[in-house]
Amino acid sequence: MTLISNLVTETRVEPFPRLSRFLRAGALSTPDRLMISTAGGAHTVVVENKPNLTRLGLPELAPAEIVPVLSSAIEFVSAQSRDVGMIKVENVPASDFPLGEPEGNCLTVDPRAFWQWPAPWIAKPAYPNPQIHAFSNGQFHPKRPHKLKGIVYERYIPWLDQVLSFRVADPQVDIEHFHRWMNDEQVNVIWEDGGDREKHVAILEERLRDPHMLALIGCFNDVPFGYFEVYWAKENRLGPYYDAQDYDRGWHVAIGEPAYRGKQWITAWLPSLMHFIFLDDPRTQRIVGEPRASHEQQIRNLDRSGFAKVKHFDFPHKRAMLVMLTRERFFGDSLWVPAP
């Protein structure tokens, strides 16, 4: 396993309970330490990699620095390889860090649990939204939470040295990108939503009103590259075609910028979007998709990303393949790390 493991990073106070926007700067080459910079100064975390165990040694830290530094170090060492096993952190003082098995001044953390803790990446998880059922689109389903605003997920991608973010689409801010993307030849072949600016404003406004749909803009280093829809599957058009559970979610994607259509980009945004969906509500156990059955490249990408091919079925407008990714598969196999 090779880790880029000397890192200068910045942690800043945010106006919501996400811990930090860390892992900002380029990586250096020393294999046995991380350099993490917070408001309290620069901190050196010693790293020792062994089979099935990674040891981290924390420096002396002020109480306010413990959780950000500890979280930054654990994310970094577990973000680049599926082979990382348990992480044993030494010299850990008492703190509000909610994970791990304590033993004296040591803490053993399972990456599979750490990556299900939303605080480092997600602004405001939908849970605990109370479970109150409603009836719509012919389905009895949980009432969905109020729509989010602004950035909903942010993650540093070490193999790109860029920050990926998803933010809620805003018709006033994003219409020029969305209008151009929907008229892109490759996008229109799949989406069939080409048209004038007024049509695209109406689409975005309708998505924002729809309680089962979350419309997102994806950005690398704050540069918009694509449009995403995350939907609750039970009341979606897909719901009647399989045994949909209350908290199943699905997604659509349009990569509008041609420069961001390569493998290096999909290995960043695809697992990160799945990560966001699972973090947004811990009751979501399955993510589904319905790519066109003839779209062989997309189905291969989904297969490499952990999606099972469930069945072919016929929508009114296309023959589709139902694919499904389970929470157990995603976190159990560390699928936030792309396949080698």
Domain ranges of the chain: 25-115, 133-333
Q: Is the pLDDT of residue 60 over 50?
A: yes
Q: What is the pLDDT of residue 206?
A: 97
Q: What is the pLDDT of residue 8?
A: 41
Q: What is the pLDDT of residue 35?
A: 82
Gap between the Cα atoms of 118 and 63, Å rounded: 21
Gap between the Cα atoms of 307 and 321, Å rounded: 11
Q: Which of 3-7, 206-210, 238-242, 266-270 comes out lowest in average pLDDT?
A: 3-7
Kindly report, residue by residue over 242-262, the tens digit of the pLDDT: 999 999 999 999 999 999 999
Q: What is the pLDDT of residue 275?
A: 98
Q: Which CATH class is domain 133-333?
A: alpha beta
Higher confidence at residue 117 or residue 125? Answer: 117
Percent of the chain whose predicted confidence (pLDDT) is above 90: 66
Q: pLDDT band at 2, cuts 50/70/90?
A: very low
Q: pLDDT band at 127, cuts 50/70/90?
A: low
Beta strands in 51-190 (DSSP E): 53-57, 86-90, 101-103, 106-109, 133-136, 139-142, 151-157, 162-168
Q: Which of 90, 101, 290, 296 is catalytic?
A: 290
Establish whether 290 is a catalytic residue. yes
Q: What is the pLDDT of residue 259?
A: 97
Nearest 10 degrees: CA dihedral of 123, 80, 164, 22? 60
> Tell me, what DSSP letter sits at residue 157?
E
Q: pLDDT band at 11, cuts 50/70/90?
A: very low
Q: What is the pLDDT of residue 25?
A: 36
**Which stretch, 27-31, 91-95, 321-325, has highest mean pLDDT?**
321-325
Higher confidence at residue 205 or residue 67? Answer: 205
Rounded to 5 degrees, φ, ψ at 25 are -95, 170
**Which stretch, 42-51, 68-77, 142-151, 216-225, has highest mean pLDDT?**
216-225
Q: Is the pLDDT of residue 7 over 90?
A: no
Q: pLDDT band at 161, cuts 50/70/90?
A: confident
Please compute the mean of the pLDDT values over residues 232-240 and round it to a whole number.
94
Whole-angstrom CA distances from 226 to 61, 154, 170, 246 are 40, 15, 13, 28
Gap between the Cα atoms of 318 and 175, Å rounded: 27
Please compute the mean of the pLDDT values over residues 226-247 and round it to a whole number.
96
Percent of the chain whose predicted confidence (pLDDT) is above 70: 90
Kindly report, residue by residue over 249-299, the tens digit of the pLDDT: 999 999 999 999 999 999 999 999 999 999 999 999 999 999 999 989 899
Q: What is the pLDDT of residue 12?
A: 37
Q: pLDDT band at 126, cuts 50/70/90?
A: low
Higher confidence at residue 22 or residue 187? Answer: 187
Gap between the Cα atoms of 156 and 332, Å rounded: 21
Kindly report, residue by residue over 13-48, the tens digit of the pLDDT: 333 344 444 443 334 336 688 888 777 778 889 999
Looking at every residue in the chain, the average pLDDT score rounds to 88
Q: What is the pLDDT of residue 138?
A: 81
Gap between the Cα atoms of 206 and 203, Å rounded: 5
Please compute the mean of the pLDDT values over residues 119-125 and round it to a whole number.
83
